[in-house]
Chains A and B, each alone.
Chain A
Amino acid sequence: MSAVRPVADPLAFKDNARIVVADPVLRRSFRGAMDFLTDKRAAQFPDVAGFNRLRALGESIRQYALANLPQLLGQLEERLAERGVHVHWAENAEDANRLFLEIAQRHDAKLMVKGKSMVSEEIELNHRMAEHGIDCVETDMGEYILQLDHDRPSHIIMPAIHKTKEDVARIFAEHIPGAGYTEDVNELIAIGRRALRDKFATAKIGVSGVNFLVAETGSIVLVENEGNGRLSTTVPDVHIAITGIEKVIAKLEHVAPLFTLLTRSATGQAVTTYLNVISGPRREGEKDGPREQHLILLDNGRTQAYREERFRATLQCIRCGACMNHCPVYARVGGLSYGTTYPGPIGAIISPHLMNLESTRDLPTASSLCGACGEVCPVGIPIPDLLMRLREAARHDEPVAQQRKALKGQGGARRMLEVAAWKGWRLVYANSRIYRLVTWLATRCRRLLPGRQAGWTGTRVALRPAPRSLRERLAQRRPTPIPMDDTSKPAA
């Protein structure tokens, strides 16, 4: 990683990106990592028709769940209560952290072990707990590396993908007592695992994320590879799971298709090493499992996306990360540049709801709308469309067509100069007479156009109109042009 770390603020996106794209070592490293992941995924979906069928199923499962979200959440809460799980609702990060703190203080816990959870990143759980003297230790190897180095995840599945093995060697040697310096990857993993074992054995509280919540059975489903998720959810006396309200699905049978879509899209695995289906705390006569179990359901802006039909598909996401692996922008700027918990295309469409559209205004435009994200999304989220809708909402102060209420930070990218430019554009292009006049002038004055064109000429020569437009050249060719079909009254 270069010496300058990207700033953890989406308003710094452009500055962050500028630094990263200028670094050839980082560029090569990101490209290599993304190629590795996209190749692995492609090997899991050799036939497009098969993928499309499975995706249609995954999409309909997620859409059904969202269409029935309030009922399913109610059913889930009932089932979980029957199983002895305490369900809590958190409107925002502050609420969620207060719930964690209350549980920790009740058990006099000074140490928590945590499996990978992006929602816990979203609420900055580690930092908030540290403020109260509670050590919240990451147990996912990637997250652990980052925590030791005071860094942030740059990918939702491969959080430390921006670290090299040399980085990890240095971090472990510096922070793990007695570790010594080695660049041997297997040895490094062994060092990390040994250091974490003690934490599992002594922590009173285990924290985890959630991949799916099954309403009909009250099951908490957790997908992982390292076994740290199983340890975090079974060894400590208390297990606290946290996730967003959108993770609920209706039926247990819905897990199978989503699970296979998730693992194949995320890491190119047919299955993961662990699939945990958690069904409540330890019962009478059972020898293991937590004695107390909590589920914290976080809103944190998700209801804004839910409320608006045109943004609701955002919540279909199952957090596989395929959109970032295939994104040409993400591959060049890396996840940290986004300055948000969730980077890449999914980050660009969810962050405006979790934060606000003003502070995230540069993220929806950070896409060439190439469509690679939408093409690989395993649950059919029309990501390019959602990016365009957010661009529109960011440039209009009031709710736009098919939008019920203003988004937080609606109009946050509205600049009068840009608005005026598009009004001018519309005047010209919606009126063929003006258009012809402008084209005529532009082709005659082509040499007078500025040689420096903001944003364009840094790496390109200036745009110059041709000496004569196509229509002029066609008109010259035909002395008596085909009668003009000039019914185009100015529509403006």
Chain B
Amino acid sequence: MSPPVPALPTPRDVYFFATCVVDMFEPEAGLDAIAVLEHAGLRVTFPEAQTCCGQPAYTTGFPEEALRVARAQLDLFPEPWPIVVPSGSCAGMIHHHWPRLFAHDAELSKRARDIASRVVEFTDFVVGTLGLDLADADDAPVKVALHTSCSARREMDTLRSGRAVLAALPGVELAHHDHESECCGFGGTFSVKHPEISAAMAGDKLDAIAATGCSTFVSADCGCLLNLNSTLAKRGTPLRGRHVASFLRERLRIASVEHGP
């Protein structure tokens, strides 16, 4: 499983980098991911000054702006703890692109590489490090499709961990959809620069997911979910996608962190 998870057999502490999309648009996904991590006995630190990995500007052709934003995150993870990110896309940005972004400066580059080496996508962390016992989870039968973001699949190689989480949950049937490896059409600013093409991709993706007869679908990326759920809402159909952390929390019957200890 990549990226290499830091050599901590049983980490006590982790950082949580929520991402800007989760912070502003999908806070439940962040709360649910934290609930799962805490349920596994971890102390989760949320550095309050965190904002964004810089990806939106980076992929649009404004790397200098991305660099300034990424720079503002570099000091937020001083302890050698894993940094759990509930997004393959933002984790990919930090893991692969931060070291390049800071390559011109030896000192910053060193810190970026250190952070990059500790970044781990949520499902990858759950499967590779947490070793959660999922057998006790709710076993009510449910058919679920999985949408793996392109960055999760191709940059972070976490397709298998996403599938592994679902496979380990009793009662969950994974519904494979047609052209599963294909992009949902989000692509950050691509979705608004080429709206008709993006919409055609989102439409095809949702038709394929709906054709499986699943009752819900999950993804580890809120960018894709914003795109797909906003399209579904406009269509007026009841199907919705959820962050895999929310689905996992519910199946594990873990209370939301807000009602927790």
Contact = CB atoms under 8 A, between A and B. Distances in A.
B197 A21 contact: yes
A329 B186 CA distance: 12
A461 B230 contact: yes
Contact of B65 (A375, A423, A466): A423
Interface in A439-463: 439, 442-443, 453-463
Contacts of B257: 474, 477
B58 to A, nearest CB: 7
A21 B197 CA distance: 7
B48 A491 contact: no
B75 A487 contact: yes
Interface stretch (A57-65, A201-209, A232-240, A478-486): A478-486
A407 B225 CA distance: 37
Interface stretch (B66-74, B122-130, B136-144): B66-74
A487 B227 CA distance: 34
Interface residues of A, number: 77
Interface residues of B, number: 75
Interface string A2-26: 0000000000001001100110000
Contacts of B185: 328, 368
Contact of B51 (A400, A413, A422, A435): A435
A22 B47 contact: no
Interface stretch (B16-24, B109-117, B165-173): B16-24
A425 B48 contact: no
A395 B50 CA distance: 28
Contacts of B154: 370-372, 374-375
Nearest to B57: A422
A466 B193 CA distance: 25
Interface stretch (B3-11, B25-33, B209-217, B244-252): B25-33
- Grouping DSSP codes into helix (H, G, I), strand (E, B) and loop, the B interface class, with mixed when no group exceeds half, is helix
Given A333-B197, A423-B65, A429-B51, A388 B25 contact: no
A473 to B, nearest CB: 6
A367 B196 contact: no
A455 B191 contact: yes
B254 interface: no
Interface of B: 18, 20, 22-28, 30-31, 34, 45-52, 54, 56-63, 65, 68-69, 71-73, 75-76, 78, 104, 150-151, 153-155, 181-183, 185-203, 226-227, 230-231, 233-234, 257-258, 260
11 contacts: A18-B196, A21-B200, A366-B197, A368-B198, A375-B154, A388-B58, A401-B104, A455-B195, A459-B202, A461-B233, A469-B23
User: Which 3 A-B residue pairings sit nearest by Cβ, starting from the closest?
Assistant: A368-B187, A455-B192, A391-B61
Interface of A: 14, 17-18, 21-22, 27, 328-329, 332-333, 365-372, 374-375, 388, 390-396, 400-401, 413, 422-423, 425-426, 428-432, 435, 439, 442-443, 453-466, 468-471, 473-477, 481-482, 484-488, 490-492
